[in-house]
């Protein structure tokens, strides 16, 4: 389980110009991200537009990423949280057959499910394979936070190895960390990873790691080496990049940045759209500036 610790890119999905899943563009993204020195990839999550993809497309993506990462020292976590449990189990079993190292899943969120329904979902999904499961707290996506009591029950489920925590409620996260020292805690807000690391998380899973993974790997190393000055400098660069892509929308912005440096990733799938032409220009200009060029994979 300790091998799962560290920094993982929440992998983007390669799409054709008309929005279809593109194996060729997925391989282009994979090749760039795998050069950045990260510990792993988180495949098929929200950053990969999974809520807009079919189960078949997600299965294809799983297979392509597994093939591309086979020769790399890279941990693979498959996000399998589909709107219905049947698809989630199909995705989980596929990932297990492909040699993924762990699973993760959003709580069921297509309807306002009860706490007991959410717990039952994770129990059945976790039992579908022998892979360790990373449960997920992400109120920005599900529309409501789960209580500490519910999260504690989820962490007690067999095969559950930890949690991806994407919330600014640092106190809640710290209490979970203290109450479950044997479980892994990953943090999902890239722009304040340093704050979460100070509270003892085991690593990060982030969208902007797709293009700045080298920077986040260095941030993780600076924290481990107690170099607070370097860690702050790197976090500030992360924050400036995040502030800029918010002008376009996060996923369109990261794809614009990748396109600007020559990674053939394609667009986002509708209804995502670039929110601002000025924002697009700002993203392209920022990623070409010397302080960011230094952190791009060559």
Determine the pLDDT at residue 213: 98
Q: How much is the average pLDDT of 240-245?
A: 98
Q: What is the mean pLDDT of residues 207-215?
A: 98
Instruction: Give the range of the structural domain holding residue 148, as residue numbers without chain letter.
Output: 2-225
pLDDT value at residue 109: 86
What are the tens digits of pLDDT across the range 217-240? 999 999 999 999 999 999 999 999
Report yes or no on 243 lying in a domain.
Answer: no
Is the model's pTM score more than 0.95? Answer: yes
**What does the pLDDT read at residue 298?**
82
Q: How far is CA 195 from CA 13, 165, 209, 296, in A?
A: 29, 13, 17, 24
Whether 125 maps to a domain, the answer reads yes
Instruction: Band the pLDDT of 261: cuts 50, 70, 90.
Output: very high
CA angle 136, 239, 78 (to 5 degrees): 30
- 266 touches 255 (CB < 8 A): yes
For residue 185, what pLDDT is reported?
A: 98
Let me know if residue 258 belongs to a domain: no
Residue 260 lies in a domain: no
pLDDT tens per residue across span 71-127: 898 999 999 999 899 999 999 999 999 999 999 999 998 899 999 999 999 999 999
Report the share of the chain in percent with pLDDT over 90.
Answer: 95
**Lowest mean pLDDT: which of 143-147, 212-216, 285-289?**
143-147
Which residue among 42, 122, 136, 209 is the active-site one? 136
Segment 26-45 shows an average pLDDT of 97
Does residue 249 fall inside a structural domain? Answer: no
Task: Classify strands 160-165 and 184-187 as parallel, antiparallel or unpaired.
Answer: parallel
Query: What are the C-alpha distances in Å from 159 to residues 94, 127, 128, 135, 177?
Result: 17, 7, 10, 10, 18
164 catalytic? Reply is yes
Confidence class for position 273, pLDDT limits 50, 70, 90: very high
Domain count, the chain: 1
Is residue 121 part of the annotated active site? The answer reads no
Per-residue pLDDT at 1: 66
Give, for 203, the enclosing helix (H) or strand (E): strand 203-206
Tell me, yes or no, whether 88 lies in a domain. yes
List 100, 121, 122, 164, catalytic entry: 164
**Residue 244 lies inside a defined structural domain of this protein:** no
- Domain CATH code at residue 141: 3.20.20.70
Q: Give domain status of residue 247, yes or no.
A: no
Percentage of the residues of the chain whose pLDDT score is greater than 70: 100
């Amino acid at each position: 389980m300790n091998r799962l610790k560290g920094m993982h890119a929440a992998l983007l999905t390669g799409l054709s110009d008309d929005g279809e899943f593109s194996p060729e563009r997925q391989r282009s993204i994979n090749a760039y991200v795998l050069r950045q020195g990260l510990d792993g990839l988180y495949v098929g999550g929200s950053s990969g537009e999974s809520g807009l993809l079919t189960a078949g497309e997600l299965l294809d993506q799983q297979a392509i990423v597994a093939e591309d990462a086979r020769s790399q020292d890279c941990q693979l976590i498959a996000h399998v949280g589909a709107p219905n449990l049947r698809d989630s189990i199909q995705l989980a079993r596929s990932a297990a057959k492909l040699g993924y190292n762990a699973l993760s899943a959003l709580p069921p969120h297509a309807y306002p499910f009860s706490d007991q329904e959410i717990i039952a979902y994770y129990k059945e999904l976790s039992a579908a394979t022998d892979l360790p499961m990373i449960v997920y707290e992400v109120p920005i996506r599900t529309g409501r936070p789960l209580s500490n009591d519910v999260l504690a029950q989820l962490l007690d489920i067999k095969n559950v190895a930890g949690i991806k925590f994407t919330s600014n409620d640092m106190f809640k996260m710290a209490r979970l960390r203290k109450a479950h020292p044997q479980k892994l805690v990953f943090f999902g807000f890239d722009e304040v990873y340093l704050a979460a690391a100070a509270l003892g998380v085991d690593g990060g899973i982030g969208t902007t790691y797709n293009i700045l993974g080298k920077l986040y790997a260095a941030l993780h190393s600076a924290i481990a080496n107690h170099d607070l000055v370097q860690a702050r400098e790197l976090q500030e660069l992360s924050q400036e990049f995040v502030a800029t892509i918010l002008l376009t929308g996060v996923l369109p912005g990261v794809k614009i940045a990748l396109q600007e440096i020559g990674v053939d990733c394609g667009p986002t799938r509708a209804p995502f759209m670039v929110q601002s032409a000025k924002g697009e220009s700002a993203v392209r200009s920022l990623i070409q500036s010397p302080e960011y060029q230094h952190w791009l994979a060559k």
